[in-house]
């Protein structure tokens, strides 16, 4: 497995609609394994193939199982759930939306307030091509929406209601 470079704006691959994956071959398996390692090294909770310069519809997401327990984020013993999805699409979404703070490995140094659907259903394939359907809510739904946006050339900064540099916010409060 290889740690790949995370590309950042203004790299044009981040603005392209990624191609559908048709071949579930060794190259795809290597890409997925590399993406998982890259996401963990960054560190991040999700990564889309365009973020490592590959315009294909692949995402990886890893998060704490008990997303509501803030103390888990600081624990090395907390269980994490890893998803590797190929050709993911949001098939259903709640009417309800909630605002939350997001950042992105491809937009370093910035955060923003983004409205996301509270619940989504994602249809995809696993790394071996078998169909997968996930019903997601809250923080987990936000991560998946963010990563699927990458596959469509959308960055969180495109849909944020406000954007800032975290160090600016700290300086303003001093």
Active site residue 168: no
State the Cα angle at 16 between 14 and 20, rounded to 5°: 110
- From 147, 167, 168, 171, active-site residue: 147
Rounded CA separation 17/108 (Å): 21
Q: 120: part of which helix (H) or strand (E)?
A: strand 119-125
Is 80 in contact with 43 (CB distance < 8 Å)?
no
Of the chain, the end-to-end C-alpha distance in Å amounts to 44
Burial class from Cβ neighbours inside 10 Å (0-12, 13-18, 19+) for residue 132 reads middle
Is 117 in contact with 111 (CB distance < 8 Å)?
no
CA torsion through residues 4, 52, 41, 123, sign:
negative
Point out the residues that are catalytic.
147
């Amino acid at each position: 497995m290889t740690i790949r470079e995370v590309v950042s704006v203004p790299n044009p691959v981040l603005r392209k609609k990624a191609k559908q994956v048709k071949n579930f071959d060794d190259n795809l398996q290597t890409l997925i394994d590399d993406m998982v390692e890259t996401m963990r090294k960054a560190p991040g909770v999700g990564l889309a193939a365009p973020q490592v310069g590959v315009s294909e519809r692949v995402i990886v997401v890893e998060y704490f199982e008990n997303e509501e327990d803030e103390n888990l984020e600081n624990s090395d013993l907390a269980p994490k759930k890893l998803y590797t999805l190929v050709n993911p699409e949001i098939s259903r979404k709640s009417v309800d939306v909630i605002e939350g703070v997001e950042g992105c490995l491809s937009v370093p140094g910035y955060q923003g307030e983004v409205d996301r659907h509270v619940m989504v259903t994602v249809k995809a394939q696993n790394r071996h091509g078998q169909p997968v359907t996930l019903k997601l809510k809250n923080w987990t739904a936000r991560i998946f929406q963010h990563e699927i946006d990458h596959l469509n050339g959308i960055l969180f900064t495109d849909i944020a209601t406000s954007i800032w540099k975290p160090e600016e916010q700290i300086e303003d409060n001093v």
